[in-house]
């Protein structure tokens, strides 16, 4: 199953400098609460780190973070910001087994085609150590499609998000919260945030 949309990757490759310039401040509002669930010094894999903004915050909290992005241009800008290499990796290439205390994916898995999402989530489940945590934020809506910038979104409803996660692995805890926020296109959209824990 393919875990990425080529046209969306091309968009971020072209927009990387502007995206980086516009993402100099602010973090995912649910990130501090997620980090509070983790033990001090926990190892965190970030999928789709973008400009490296959240990775910088995670480091400032004393955690060990491995930022990755599927777009080489974006990874290069994140590396510049963080002062260290950032791995170029697409979601479908994740092959780690019980390697991380947490896997964090802020506004990135929302671009995974639905046909490949269960596979990507299963890879995340396998990459987590027993008792590990995962968080991801998705644009909601219920019907997959493209926005006015031609980016693909899986647009999961809360019920659909839960179904995909249940299909991908056994979770000890699964929490879904909803909200609204402005995206890169400037439009206000509904969001669903998922926090799950692998059994310990």
The CATH homologous superfamily to which domain 6-197 belongs is Vaccinia Virus protein VP39 (3.40.50.150)
- Across the strands, what pairs with 87? 68
Segment 138-161 shows an average pLDDT of 96
pTM of the model: 0.95
Segment 175-194 shows an average pLDDT of 87
| Residue boundaries of the structural domains of the chain | 6-197
pLDDT score for 181:
82
pLDDT at 1 over 80: no
């Amino acid at each position: 199953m393919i875990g990425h949309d080529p046209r969306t990757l091309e968009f971020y490759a072209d927009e990387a400098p502007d995206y980086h310039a516009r993402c100099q401040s602010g973090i995912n509002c649910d990130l501090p609460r997620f980090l509070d669930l983790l033990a001090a010094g926990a190892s965190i894999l970030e999928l789709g780190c973008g400009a490296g903004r959240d990775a910088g915050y995670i480091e400032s909290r004393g955690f060990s973070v491995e930022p990755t992005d599927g777009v080489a241009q974006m990874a290069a800008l994140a590396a510049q910001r963080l002062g260290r290499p950032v791995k170029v990796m697409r979601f479908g290439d994740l092959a780690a087994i019980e390697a991380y205390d947490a896997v964090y994916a802020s506004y990135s898995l929302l671009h995974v085609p639905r046909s490949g999402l269960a596979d990507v989530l299963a890879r995340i489940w396998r990459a987590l150590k027993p008792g590990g945590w995962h968080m991801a934020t998705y644009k909601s809506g219920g019907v997959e499609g493209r926005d006015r910038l031609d980016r693909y979104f899986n647009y999961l409803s809360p019920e659909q998000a839960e179904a995909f996660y249940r299909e991908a692995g056994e979770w000890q805890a699964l929490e879904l919260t909803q909200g609204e926020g402005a995206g890169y296109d400037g439009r206000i959209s509904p969001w669903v945030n998922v926090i799950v824990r692998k059994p310990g």
